[in-house]
Amino acid sequence: MGVFSRLSTLIKSNINDLISRAEDPEKILNQLIVDMREQLVEAKKQVASSIADEKKLKKQLDNEVHLAREWEKKAMLAVRAGRDDLALEALQRKEQHDGLASEYRKQYELQKAAADQLRASLRQLHAKIEEAKRKKDLLIARQRRIEAQQRIQETMRGFGDTSAFEQFEKMAQKVEAMEAEAEAAAELQNEMDHGDLEDKFRALEEDAGASDALLALKHKMGVAQEAEEEEAFDLEALEQELATVPAQAQKFSNEEF
């Protein structure tokens, strides 16, 4: 368990060091993931070494068990041969290997338990690092969103009372006022043009009305009838005079010949 304790201490130390330097959070998070991966590699090496020790103890245990069985077989062989002295020596050797096997079994069981615990811790560490990688992406996204909001707020504060938006609004109002003035001038000019034309027609109608009124007055006084009779008389006299012109021309022609 010492390796994971040292790993945790080292990671915490790196985090505190990075935070104390007040660097860019995204850089800090990326560097932490790099450090975690490096420490994970180191932890894997330590766990692999522990597993190797476990396997070594298991091999030594199996070897002592095997030797104890072999000496037991030799003791049995000596008994069959009537060599009790050799059988006793073989049994002594068997007891020695049994004792070693017992010690190796204890060490093996302890090492296996430690290695199993290290395996579990390594899996947990790997899962936490993967979770940290996922959270890193979320934290970076949140950081970027916060920075964007801060930049927008700073930009808005930078505009102040005479902001570009206010200037834009004033210009828009000015354009609208100019447009309204132009429309009013055009409408006034149109009314003036139509007014002149209407005045001319109105004067013409008034003249016609005055002529009608004068003629009616003349009829009433009889002046108009006399004027009409004079016009008719003059026309009739002119027609008679014109009718005599060909006859006089013929007479003049006959006198010449």
Res 226: pLDDT? 53
User: What confidence score (pLDDT) does residue 1 get?
Assistant: 45
Cα separations in angstroms, 65 against 51, 75, 113: 21, 15, 21
CA distance 230 to 94: 180
Q: Model pTM?
A: 0.47
Could you give the 3-state DSSP secondary structure of residue 155? helix
Q: Class of 2-160 per CATH?
A: mainly alpha
> How far is residue 129's CA from residue 227's CA, in Å, rounded to a whole number?
127
Q: What is the mean pLDDT of the chain?
A: 76
Domain residue ranges of the chain, discontinuous segments joined by +: 2-160, 174-256
The region, left, alpha or beta by phi > 0 then psi within -120 to 50, assigned to residue 24 is: beta
Burial 40-75 (b: 16+ CB within 10 A, else e): beebeebbeebbebbeebbebbeebbebbeebbebb
Q: Using a pLDDT cut of 90, give the percent of the chain over it.
A: 26
Per-residue model confidence as pLDDT tens digits over 41-95 = 888 888 899 999 999 999 999 999 999 999 999 999 999 999 999 999 999 999 9
DSSP for 136-147? HHHHHHHHHHHH
